[in-house]
């Protein structure tokens, strides 16, 4: 499966890097491909390292003004003209999406895929990985939007909230019919 991960390129502490690394290693060991923003810095580097070191493939989509930060040695690297084209390419190359911790860019990417799902323009599974409670406030806001009728589809149809990396990947694999372990 090609799994797009939206996440920060910032250097973050262990409470964020450790679970990101764990998810990346699960992804690589599972034979999946990471589709990500292509940067070789911060949390993006942590995830790319974990996937590559455990046998997964790397498909990066950088953008002109960040091309100097693109990861060398990725299996595939595309450089988009702007952020809008980057988002479109990331989503086009993905079978599923995971939203990890991040700033305004990550939030923009997350709301884009949820808006597409809301309008039935995609049915790709989306997981919000709520590492260290980072997205507790956003989750509460989404629940309020759902409860008060702002969403034409149930929130559970749009996004799955996972607290741990193993739960995030298990949800994605189950969503596309991949079964692991004993029957």
**pTM > 0.85: yes or no:** yes
* Whether residue 94 has pLDDT greater than 90: yes
pLDDT at 9: 94
Q: How far is CA 5 from CA 127, 153, 170, in A?
A: 10, 23, 15
Tokens 């993006």, located at residue? 44
How wide is the angle at C-alpha 129 spanned by C-alphas 136 and 173, nearest 5°? 145
pLDDT for residue 47 is more than 90 = yes
User: Distances from the Cα of 157 to the Cαs of 16, 25, 122, 161, 164, in angstroms?
Assistant: 27, 27, 11, 11, 20
Q: pLDDT at residue 183 above 60?
A: no
**Over the range 130-149, which residues count as b (16 or more CB within 10 Å of their CB) and which as e?**
bbeebbeebbeebeeebeee
Distance between CA 105 and CA 109 in Å, rounded?
6
Q: Is the pLDDT of residue 111 over 80?
A: yes
What integer pLDDT is reported at residue 178 of this predicted model? 77
pLDDT per residue as tens digits for the range 128-169: 999 999 999 999 999 999 999 999 999 999 999 999 999 999
Q: Is the pLDDT of residue 180 over 80?
A: no
**Residues forming a β-bridge with 60:** 36, 77
So what's the pLDDT on residue 142? 96
Calculate the alpha carbon distances from 171 to 85, 149, 166 in Å.
28, 26, 9
How much is the pLDDT for 181? 57
**Minimal CA–CA distance to 67: which of 86, 54, 53?**
86
């Amino acid at each position: 499966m090609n799994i797009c991960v939206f996440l920060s390129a910032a250097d973050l502490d262990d409470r964020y890097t450790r679970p990101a690394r764990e998810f990346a290693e699960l992804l690589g060991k599972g034979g999946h491909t990471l589709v990500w923003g292509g940067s070789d810095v911060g949390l993006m580097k942590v995830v790319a390292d974990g996937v590559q070191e455990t046998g997964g493939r790397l498909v990066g989509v950088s953008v002109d003004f960040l091309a100097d930060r693109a990861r060398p040695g990725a299996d595939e690297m595309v450089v988009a003209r702007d952020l809008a084209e980057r988002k479109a390419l990331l989503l086009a190359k993905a079978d599923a999406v995971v939203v990890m911790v991040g700033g305004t860019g990550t939030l923009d990417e997350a709301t884009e895929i949820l808006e597409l799902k809301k309008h039935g323009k995609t049915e790709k599974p989306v997981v919000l990985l709520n590492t260290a409670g980072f997205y507790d406030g956003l989750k509460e806001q989404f629940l309020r939007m759902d409860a008060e009728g702002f969403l034409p589809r149930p929130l559970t149809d749009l996004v799955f909230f996972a607290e741990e990396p193993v739960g995030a990947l298990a949800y994605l694999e189950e969503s596309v019919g991949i079964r692991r372990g004993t029957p």
